[in-house]
Amino acid sequence: MIFKLNSVNQQVTVFNVFFISACLTVRDGMIANPSWHESSLQGQAVYCKKMPMDLCVEHFIPHRSRMKLVDEILRVSEKETVTRSTVTENWPCLRDGFAEAFMLMEVVAQTTGIHNEWLEMQKDDTRCPSGGWLVGVRDAAFCIPVLEVGTIIVTRTKNIYTLDDFREISGQSTANGKPAATVRLQIVQASKP
């Protein structure tokens, strides 16, 4: 069974709930640029050189606590990024031991953020992480309705179109080795460092 999400209303709702909150700060109804590498990384090292040897997820995306869904970077290159996530009790939108499959859109978005931050750091070895990317869902298809706690997700993303700070991304996720989702995203850099 394939679950399809491509209506404008559904995309806007998911975009507002998951992606804007992860990339921007909303104060008094106004969207403001975040300073995540100042507030969220207190007490942690922030690497601004080409590529951290340990490929720590936190060096590339601003997500923390329950919103950080990517656990490990398996591979990052100019062509693609591959990450691993495990569904835990701590995931947002978890109910009765299951997360909705639409959470895979956020996993793809975080993997995309890692990929594009890494690419930008390759161009400028003095660059610190930018603070995020605005993400819109162009299309998403799901092969499963839910993800059980303990499910291992492997996600691959690649840029299929790039123009200045705009990117279109293709992402695929597997759940315990079986196809789970295909997602197309469009992103733009939230702020220039």
The CA distance from 132 to 23, in Å, is: 5
> Bigger pLDDT: 172 or 60?
172
Residue 112 has pLDDT above 70, yes or no: yes
For residue 134, the model assigns a pLDDT of 87
Confidence of residue 97 (pLDDT cuts 50, 70, 90): very high
Residues 168/92, Cβ–Cβ less than 8 Å:
no
CB atoms within 10 A of CB 145: 11
Q: How many CA atoms lie within 13 A of 147 on its CB side?
A: 34
Mean pLDDT value of segment 62-72: 88
Place of tokens 């299951």: 98
For residue 59, the model assigns a pLDDT of 80
Radius of gyration of the chain, Cα coordinates, nearest whole angstrom: 16
Residue 27 has pLDDT above 90, yes or no: no
Beta partners for residue 86, in sequence order:
152
Sequence spans of domains, the chain: 3-189
Question: What superfamily would CATH give domain 3-189?
Answer: Hotdog Thioesterase (3.10.129.10)
> Bigger pLDDT: 21 or 62?
62
For residue 54, the model assigns a pLDDT of 59
Residue 147 has pLDDT above 90, yes or no: yes
Residue 31 has pLDDT above 50, yes or no: no
| DSSP per position, 135-161 | EEEEEEEES-SEEETT-EEEEEEEEEE
Confidence of residue 41 (pLDDT cuts 50, 70, 90): very low
Mean pLDDT value of segment 46-50: 37
Place of tokens 């990339």: 23
Which two three-digit tokens encode residue 157?
A: 């993303």
Distances (CA, A) of 182 to 41, 44, 105: 32, 34, 9
Return the percentage of the chain with pLDDT > 90, whole number.
Answer: 47
* One-letter identity of residue 47: Y
Mean pLDDT value of segment 163-183: 95
